[in-house]
């Protein structure tokens, strides 16, 4: 290739070999090339189409994933309530006056049961059999007795009279109503009789669909119609708080040392190799570390956001260090030299000149790390954040669970209504991730603009 004049032969050769076809030797090379051109262009077109198809396939996967989860999640955001005529009779409540203490301890289950039976037996005229009674009672949420209790405590004037109270329907009825069966038809986990009762109720305009606020304000529950994500969200916030508090300073300090101070020797190399390898260690291994060292050796409490935060810190630290180092490396050396030249110490150069310049990149790296930690599930299963927890955690050493683990737990539940709950929780998680990523981008552009001005 050194002499352009003699380079014709290799060109022909390579062009001929590229055609990959066995043409007869009677044609000249130019003719061969011309003849094969159509085929080669055809191949080119096919290749390009395959590439485009791969890209579109990728898009399609994103769309399918999001729309599948979105469509499954929609039912979880509203919920059916029913208006019952509750008869707060003294002999059913088993109390004789409406004092505050009495109202708290009264027998509301009997009130609920008898009121329901009364409503339905008067319609059909016949007495309900025992089987009917139990089927009827199953239509309403287990929470209904507490709803009517709160109602009476709030307005004691209904004592010994009748009141219309809105209560939740059971999750099976709720799912049945959302699936649009013809009124009165039996559905999944709904008998014909139950379906007809529901049809009667909805004919009387007693059934209403409301926005499911309790999904955001309630904690986990065994009953799908009562379960919410507040406990898991709080757990996530606490865990992320610990993670951010530990990983960001540690990561930035480590990166600053490695980029600005560390001498080039074997120790530094060892640290670097370590960081790179840790970035690729499966997350579940960090869970084993947390279980064996942090819980069993140091005796920190199981299931606590503190331990979860420490484990996630160790997991995200490499990501943050690598991103921060890249950002620090990108700061022009002239800046350091100028600062050193006017007599600043190495530490002053690092903290007053390099760090502010590298901040946008460091923040982006930190946020990527936090986003990674936010969606992480496996290591938290290892350290026991997988328990069924009804209370909303209040401190970093309370037993808690996090949103991804809540999703995992709900996805495992046999009740159909949890399917929608799971999808809805996923949507919330994805929305959180979106907010975090968008804020990372916004912060970076803001920082960059500010720096451009100064």
Partner 1 sequence: MCFNFALNIGLKNMNTSLLFAVLLCLTLISYWIGIKRSLKVAGGSEHRKDLTCLPEQFGLLTALVCGLPAVITLLIFNSAEQVVIEQLLTSTLTTNIQALSSIDLGLYLNNIRSLASSETSQALLLVINTSSDITTQNQYQAALTLQSLNQQATWLKTALVLVVAVVSVTLLVRKFSLTYKARQKSERIVRGLLVASSGVAILTTFGIVISVLFESIHFFNSVPVADFMFGTQWSPQTAMRSDQVGSSGSFGAIPLFAGTMLITFIAMLLAVPVGLMIAIYLSQYASSKLRAFAKPMLEVLAGIPTVVYGFFAALTVAPIIRNMGESLGLSVASESALAAGLVMGTMIIPFVSSLSEDAISAVPNTLKEASLGMGATRSETVVKVLLPAALPGIVGAILLAVSRAIGETMIVVMAAGMAANLTANPLDSVTTVTVQIVTLLTGDQEFDSPKTLAAFALGLMLFITTLGLNILALKVVQKYREQYD
Site for partner 1 in 36-65 (CB under 8 A): 40-41, 43-44, 47-48, 50-55, 57-59, 61-62, 65
Given a contact cutoff of 8 angstroms between Cβ atoms, the answer to whether 170 and 139 are in contact is yes
Closer residue to partner 1, CB minimum distance, 128 or 285: 285
Q: Does position 316 bind partner 1 by CB under 8 A?
A: no
Contact letters (x/-) for partner 1, 186-215, by CB under 8 A?
------------------------------
Q: Does position 234 bind partner 1 by CB under 8 A?
A: no
Q: Could you say which residues in the range 62-81 bind partner 1, by CB under 8 A? A: 62, 65, 68-69, 72
Tell me how far the alpha carbon of residue 374 is from its chain's centroid. 8
Question: Of 238, 262, 249, 279, nearest to 362 (Cα)?
Answer: 249
Closer residue to partner 1, CB minimum distance, 87 or 251: 251
Rounded CA-CA distance 150/108 in Å is 10
Question: Of 149, 148, 136, 141, nearest to 201 (Cα)?
Answer: 136
| Contacts of residue 167, Cβ cutoff 8 Å, sequence gap at least 6 | 81, 82, 84, 140, 141, 143, 144, 147, 148
Q: Does position 23 bind partner 1 by CB under 8 A?
A: no
Q: If you write DSSP's letter for every residue of 423-434 in order, what string do you get?
A: HHHHHHHHHHHH
Beta bridge partners of residue 207, listed in sequence order = 82
Q: Does position 304 bind partner 1 by CB under 8 A?
A: yes
Smallest distance from partner 1 to CB 141, Å: 24
- How does DSSP classify residue 350? I
Q: What angle do CA 425, 427, 432 make, to 5 degrees?
A: 95
| DSSP helix/strand/coil, 390 | coil
In the set 395, 439, 445, 451, which binds partner 1 (CB under 8 A)? 395
In the set 288, 326, 340, 443, which binds partner 1 (CB under 8 A)? 288
Contact letters (x/-) for partner 1, 413-432, by CB under 8 A?
------x--xx--x--xx--
Q: Could you say which residues in the range 3-22 bind partner 1, by CB under 8 A? A: 11, 14-15, 18
Closer residue to partner 1, CB minimum distance, 251 or 365: 251
Contact letters (x/-) for partner 1, 338-377, by CB under 8 A?
-------xxx-----------------------x--xxxx
Q: Does position 437 bind partner 1 by CB under 8 A?
A: yes
Q: Alpha helices, DSSP H only, in 81-170?
A: 90-93, 100-105, 108-124, 130-137, 144-154
Number of residues counted as binding partner 1 (CB under 8 A): 100
Centre a 10 Å sphere on the Cβ of residue 138 and count the other Cβ atoms it contains: 16
In the set 35, 128, 386, 443, which binds partner 1 (CB under 8 A)? 386
């Amino acid at each position: 290739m050194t002499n352009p004049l003699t380079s014709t032969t290799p060109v022909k050769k390579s062009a001929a070999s590229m055609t990959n076809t066995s043409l007869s030797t009677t044609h000249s090379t130019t003719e061969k090339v011309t003849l094969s051109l159509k085929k080669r262009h055809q191949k080119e077109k096919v290749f390009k189409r395959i590439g485009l198809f791969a890209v579109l396939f990728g898009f399609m996967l994103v769309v399918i994933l999001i729309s599948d989860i979105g469509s499954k999640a929609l039912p979880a955001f509203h919920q059916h309530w029913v208006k019952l005529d509750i008869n707060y009779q003294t002999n059913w409540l088993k109390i004789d006056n409406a004092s505050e203490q009495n109202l708290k301890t009264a027998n509301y289950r009997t009130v609920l049961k008898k009121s329901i039976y009364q409503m339905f037996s008067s319609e059909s005229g016949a007495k309900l059999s025992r089987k009917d009674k139990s089927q009827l009672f199953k239509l309403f949420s287990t929470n209904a007795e507490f709803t009517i209790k709160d109602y009476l405590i709030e307005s004691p004037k209904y004592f010994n009279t009748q009141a219309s109270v809105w209560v939740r329907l059971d999750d099976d009825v709720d799912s049945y109503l959302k699936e649009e069966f013809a009124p009165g038809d039996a559905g999944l986990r709904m008998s014909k009789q139950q379906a007809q009762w529901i049809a009667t109720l909805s004919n009387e305009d007693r059934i209403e669909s409301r926005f499911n606020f309790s999904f955001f304000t309630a904690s986990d529950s065994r009953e799908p119609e009562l379960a919410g994500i507040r406990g898991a969200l709080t757990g996530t916030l606490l865990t992320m708080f610990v993670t951010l508090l530990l990983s960001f300073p540690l990561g930035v300090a480590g990166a600053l040392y490695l980029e600005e101070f560390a001498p080039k020797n074997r120790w530094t190399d060892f640290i670097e190799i370590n960081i790179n390898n840790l970035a690729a260690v499966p997350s579940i291994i960090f869970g084993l570390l947390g279980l064996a060292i942090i819980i069993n050796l140091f005796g920190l409490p199981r299931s606590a956001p503190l331990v979860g935060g420490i484990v996630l810190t160790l997991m995200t630290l490499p990501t943050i260090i690598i991103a921060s180092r890249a950002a620090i490396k990108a700061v022009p050396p002239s800046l350091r030299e100028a600062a050193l030249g006017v007599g600043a110490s190495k530490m002053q150069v690092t903290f007053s000149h390099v760090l502010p310049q590298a901040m946008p990149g460091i923040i982006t790296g930190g946020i990527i790390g936090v986003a990674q930690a936010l969606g992480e599930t496996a290591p938290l299963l290892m350290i026991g954040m997988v328990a069924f927890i009804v209370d909303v955690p209040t401190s970093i050493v309370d037993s808690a669970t996090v949103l991804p683990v809540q999703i995992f737990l709900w996805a495992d539940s046999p009740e159909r209504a949890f399917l929608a709950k799971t999808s809805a929780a996923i949507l919330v998680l994805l929305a959180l991730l979106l907010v975090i990523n968008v804020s990372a981008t916004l912060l970076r552009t803001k920082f960059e603009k500010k720096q451009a001005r100064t």
